[in-house]
Amino acid sequence: MKITWLGHAAFRVEAGKSVILIDPFLTGNPGFKDVDLKQAVQGVTHIALTHGHGDHIGDTVQIAKEHGAVVLANADLAAWLAHQGVEKTDPGNTGGTIFNDDFSMTFVNALHSSATITQDGVSHSLGNANGLVFHFEDEPTLYHMGDTDIFSDMALINELHQPEIGIVPIGDRFTMGSAVAALACQRFMSFETVLPAHYGSFSLLEKTADNFIQAMEDAKNTKVVAAAAGALQNY
């Protein structure tokens, strides 16, 4: 498996025959400015969305139209994207699993909001926010928490799915901050590797992963990988 952080909460995941972009907020993403756009979207087969905020939907519509990618999202968000011209959507909802050729994706809980404001100033509810758990053939299981606070049922997610790799928001203000994110990882999860996200992009968020790395120092069995945006990591 190859994982590339694209800044903020956006990731590129290459596993088997699939290339998945998670929350592809690229245009306007300060954390993406030094990453090559063509390389980031090359060969994309699927787009997976945690929720409907603009900094997570990002370039979904354009990428889906240009590359024919299938968009995996909660049913409300998928329906809204279809009205934006996305031809291939694969909807689900909390607790449900979508099965594809060489991976499955399960929608799990996240504590966050999910809506968008259109150009006419109207707010549209786009379903519940989710975390996403990806199971691959002969690859580690990946859990992208989405935007969330800590919650005790993370322990159930760990029990049900046993994810080896976790993508964890640490930026504070709109998600849990570093100390709470580290507590979530150590108390409720059994990650082998943690990739911090949702930081270093906007002024209101934590600038670096340093506080999270320090808070994870006692987690002897978990490796924290705070790679630069655009740097490909193999797992």
pLDDT in tens, 175-210: 999 999 999 999 999 999 999 999 999 999 999 999
Kindly state the tokens that stand for 158. Answer: 């760990």
Residues 182-221: b if buried by 16+ CB within 10 A, e if exposed = bebbbebbebebbbbbbbbbbeebbeebebbbebbeeeee
Could you read off the pLDDT of 38-87 as tens digits, one per residue?
999 999 999 999 999 999 999 999 999 999 999 999 999 999 999 999 99
119 pLDDT tier (thresholds 50, 70, 90): low
Q: Reduced to 3 states, what is the DSSP secondary structure of residue 80?
A: helix
Residue 142 CB neighbours (<10 A): 28
**How high is the pLDDT of residue 120?**
74
- The pair of structure tokens assigned to 32 is 């993406």
CA 181 vs CA 48, 166, 168: distances in Å: 22, 11, 7
Contact 10, 94 (CB under 8 A): no
Q: How much is the pTM?
A: 0.97
Q: What domains appear along the chain, each with residue ranges and CATH number? A: 2-229 (3.60.15.10)
Distance CA(115)–CA(103), nearest Å, equals: 28
